[in-house]
Structure 1
Amino acid sequence: MSSAVKIPITISGNNVELTPALKQYINEKLTNTLSKVGRLVTRCDAHLTVDKNPSVENNANFEVVVSVKGTVMRASKSTHDMYASIDAVADSVKRKLRKYKERIIDAHRQGKPEAMGFDEEEIQGFKDFTQEVAKMENSLPVPPADMSLMKKKTFPMEPISVEDAVLCLDYIEHDFYVFKNKENGKIAVVYKRNHGGVGLIEPQ
């Protein structure tokens, strides 16, 4: 059954001591949620950051990036207490997973390819999970995401290096920059990470 699958969770931090108690709390909170997704989750990265600036009230940030079959989910929260941030992010991940599972349930009902490979036991587990999260949210329905196409842009994209893409990221008022990597001809994205530095996303 999917709930028996062990979820790999990687924990890292900046300006914070990763005590055994803190790691155990993170593992318990996230495993309780992710284990119900089972084999859909391939990876979970958790990162803690404490801002040492005394003028910052909500200085305890907790961020989680979950790799789920077909997509990547991210949740982040800053509060004055790291345990409160962890609780908030765990709840946010639950809500995101509820929406994800509802898509699979709908696909299974309609016989779409997205649901292929899931047996009846797993689909029932997904239904139980979505009902559990609905109770957590006081049974309020999750509003459907607005997926309407609001704007479309087309522009020429000359291949550039990753280093040049990072420079372009500094020139624009966005948190990410899409470019064509001249080393392999693939479309990639560089983005500003919340806890500093720049990340790179590229297809395999």
Structure 2
Amino acid sequence: MEIVVTGRNVEVPDHFRVHVTDKVGRLERYDHKMMGMHVELFHEPNRRQLKTCQRVEITGRGGCGTVARAEATAKDFYAALDLAISKLEGRLRRSHDRRRISGRRARATAGRGGTTITEELPDLMVEELPTGEIPIPAPRAHDEHLNGHHGEGDLAEREIAEVEALAAAYNGDGADDPDPCPGRVVRRKVHTSQPMTVDDALARMELVGHDFYLFSDSDSGEPSVVYRRRGYDYGLIRLGT
């Protein structure tokens, strides 16, 4: 598995590249089809964010367009890397267990075990890319690492009409709004993907750590969204004509 380490206006020393390669390489045991991992480092120069000034993003790409992603922030890059790897490892492990359970169900009987379908939609999150330039420090003692973590807020209920706004935001011209104002769509993306089943969409949603996943349903041929509900259930929404 190829592992690439880059920095966004951050100097990446050789000793940290070796540390990243050793840590990230252990994740291959969960998915041998993962072809490569890209680890990107960011620094937030705002002095008010000293406890979360270093950010690490890990993106893994496998066959058939599969993407696994996790990110974390901390006071130093070593702690941020550990947090991001912990998140990604959990997602890869759940995906591995899902594939194993799905295989057993398929061999036992078709149609066993369903997906809970309701009408809720989580909030859409917008990311900001920090800038700045700072070298990575030498390894620190364990007691200097940040031990905090980021919790995930509860999902709020939404009306089905909001799905149309979500679909519009993900099917625009791919350009960011140069002069955003409150209440306006500030990011537009166009995604291309092969039709897939609901189970495949759920698996990919778990791998990237999102609360929703937009896809083309191979069974109905319609644009659809799967999303995470409270507890351990999922929801499915389709746009009909």
Q: Is TM (by shorter chain) over 0.5? A: yes
Q: 1:97 to 1:36 in 2, by over 3 A?
A: closer
2:84 alignment partner in structure 1: 89
- Distance, in Å, in 1 between the alignment partners of 2:90 and 2:184 is 30
Structure 2 stretches lacking a partner, 5+ long: 108-114, 122-159, 194-215, 217-241
2:72 alignment partner in structure 1: 77
1:56 alignment partner in structure 2: 49
Report the identity percentage: 16
Structure 1 stretches lacking a partner, 5+ long: 1-6, 113-144, 181-185, 188-202
CA shift for structure 1 position 11: 1.1
CA shift for structure 1 position 106: 0.9
1:166 alignment partner in structure 2: 176
Q: 1:174 to 1:38 in 2, by over 3 A?
A: farther
SS in 2 for 1:77: strand
CA shift for structure 1 position 110: 1.6
The question of 1:19 aligning with 2:19 is answered no
- Distance, in Å, in 1 between the alignment partners of 2:190 and 2:13 is 40
RMSD: 3.5
SS in 1 for 2:48: coil
CA shift for structure 1 position 59: 0.8
1:9 alignment partner in structure 2: 3
1:75–1:92: 8 Å Cα contact kept in structure 2? yes
- Summarize the alignment of residues 1-204 of structure 1 with structure 2, pairs less than 5 Å apart: 7-39=1-33, 41-57=34-50, 58-69=52-63, 71-111=66-106, 148-151=118-121, 152=160, 153-154=163-164, 161-162=173-174, 165-167=175-177, 170=180, 176-178=187-189
SS in 2 for 1:150: coil
SS in 2 for 1:27: helix
- Distance, in Å, in 1 between the alignment partners of 2:186 and 2:78 is 27
2:30–2:92: 8 Å Cα contact kept in structure 1? no
1:168–1:177: 8 Å Cα contact kept in structure 2? no
CA shift for structure 1 position 16: 2.3
- Distance, in Å, in 1 between the alignment partners of 2:178 and 2:190 is 10
2:176–2:187: 8 Å Cα contact kept in structure 1? no
RCO higher in structure (CA 8 A, sep ≥6): 2
CA shift for structure 1 position 33: 1.5
Residue 84 of structure 1 aligns with an amino acid whose one-letter code is A
TM-score normalised per structure 2: 0.49
Q: 1:168 to 1:73 in 2, by over 3 A?
A: farther
1:77–1:88: 8 Å Cα contact kept in structure 2? yes
Residue 166 of structure 1 aligns with an amino acid whose one-letter code is D
1:138 alignment partner in structure 2: none
Residue 96 of structure 2 aligns with an amino acid whose one-letter code is K
Aligned length in residues:
141
1:169–1:177: 8 Å Cα contact kept in structure 2? no
CA shift for structure 1 position 108: 1.3
TM-score normalised per structure 1: 0.56
2:177–2:187: 8 Å Cα contact kept in structure 1? no
Q: 1:29 to 1:178 in 2, by over 3 A?
A: same
- Distance, in Å, in 1 between the alignment partners of 2:39 and 2:7 is 8
- Distance, in Å, in 1 between the alignment partners of 2:17 and 2:117 is 37
- Distance, in Å, in 2 between the alignment partners of 1:99 and 1:25 is 25
